[in-house]
A = this chain, B = another copy of it.
Amino acid sequence: MVIDLSAHARTPGTGLGAVRTRREVVATPTDPLALRCGRSLDHVEVAYQTYGELSPAGDNAVVVLHALTADAHAAGEAEGDGGPGWWDSVIGPGRPIDTDRWFVVCANLLGSCLGTTGPASTDPATGRPWGIDFPPITIGDQVAVLRRLGGALGITRYHALVGPSLGGMHAIEWFLAAPEEVEATILIATTSELTTENRAFSAAGRQAILDDPGFEGGRYLETGGAGPERGLAAARRFAHITYVSSEALERKLGDPAPAGAPPRSAAEWLAPGRAVETYLEHQGQSFLRRFDALSYLFLTRPMDDFAPFGPANAEAACRAVARNPTARHLVLSFDSDWRFGTSHAVRLAARLRAAGARAVEHQELAAPWGHDSFLLETPGMGELIARALAD
């Protein structure tokens, strides 16, 4: 039995119809992207989608920033397979992020494997996949790419940056990098800095990938090997457990302990049998079909070091906020989220206020689904987003 926890609350259909993913080149040999690590990229291509129309003044943009493993297809129906975007319930005509009013942009992140340049892309200098030779990237580098895209699209001012989970980190970073350009942030199930427990889960997942012989020192794309499939599936299974609440797992996948005797064969006994086991097996396997292990490493690692209000960055954050102290910040958390739950939101709101932001609001929503509640039609979330955009 395979149950997709995330599918149950998707709103079918949307006024947006089919949406095409487009690509923009935002770094070239004559205009390279300088990275925080000291290296630079001569070619960066960004996959993105837009919904709605940019105003003549270029000032009605709302950027939606995706979480770890999502892509630019946030809303509407995909061309071809026709599947809805990952936030289709939130974005569209008359929806909380109203495409009749806002010019909505969602772009795939630098380092991902879903259309934007990353370790699985070709290194123009060698003609081979970058692999482990792709440069280390930071949340700030990823934001720089997104800002170049915004410029190319003619956006002059961002009405709001809306980011769930990892996307919230990008929204924070973006605001601090260019506070004058940003009127509001909506920071959902996110954090101003990972806890050591967050980092522990992340590190254990990466280690499973790095340890897999199929990783081949990060050159499996070049050799044409199968890649670290077992390690990536293991990392995904464990990570997935942290994305859903204990209550959600119980409701959806709780089955009673079997009444009878165990089978006589240990091979049979140890094979996945219960609903939760089959579900995790499916989560691991289906992830392999859509995600690259190197991108998983390159996207999780920058989160570890994200600390815009940490000791090394606090002063810069204060200076940035002082350039736009009245920007509005809505911090949303879900009560059942044990990844970036309410304690993260409380700290994030406090850090923003301490840095001088005058319009910071924190709202906790009751939601039984855990961290992934942002993907579902959690009661109250759409209303809060719509209100924050309308303010």
Contact = CB atoms under 8 A, between A and B. Distances in A.
Contact of A237 (B199, B204, B276, B310): B204
Nearest to A302: B262
A287 interface: no
Given A197-B250, A200-B276, A201-B241, A234 B207 contact: yes
Q: How many copies does the complex hold?
A: 2
Contact of A270 (B246, B270, B301, B305): B301
B204 A307 contact: no
Nearest to A281: B207
Interface string A121-164: 00000000000111111100000000000000000000000000
B280 A200 contact: yes
A257 B301 CA distance: 12
Interface string A255-267: 0111101111111
A290 to B, nearest CB: 19
A136 B305 contact: no
Contacts of A284: 207
Given A306-B257, A312-B259, A267 B218 contact: yes
Given A196-B254, A200-B241, A204-B237, A274 B38 contact: no
Nearest to A206: B270
Nearest to A218: B267
Nearest to A254: B196
Nearest to A370: B197
A211 interface: yes
Interface residues of A, number: 75
B39 A264 contact: yes
A311 interface: yes
Interface string A106-125: 00000000000001000000
A349 B213 CA distance: 47
A195 B253 CA distance: 10
A264 B37 contact: yes
A291 interface: no
A272 B257 CA distance: 39
B301 A195 contact: no
14 contacts: A119-B266, A132-B267, A136-B264, A193-B257, A195-B246, A197-B246, A199-B274, A203-B272, A203-B274, A206-B270, A207-B280, A211-B233, A218-B270, A269-B301
Interface of A: 36-39, 119, 132-138, 193, 195-197, 199-201, 203-204, 206-208, 210-213, 217-218, 230-231, 233-234, 237-238, 241, 246, 249-250, 253-254, 256-259, 261-267, 269-272, 274, 276-277, 280-281, 284, 297-298, 301, 304-307, 310-313, 338
Given A136-B264, A266-B298, 17 more contacts: A38-B261, A119-B266, A132-B270, A136-B262, A136-B263, A136-B265, A195-B249, A196-B246, A196-B276, A200-B280, A204-B238, A210-B271, A256-B312, A257-B307, A259-B313, A262-B305, A270-B297
Nearest 8 pairs of A and B residues by beta carbon? A259-B312, A257-B307, A136-B262, A136-B269, A197-B246, A204-B237, A196-B249, A203-B277
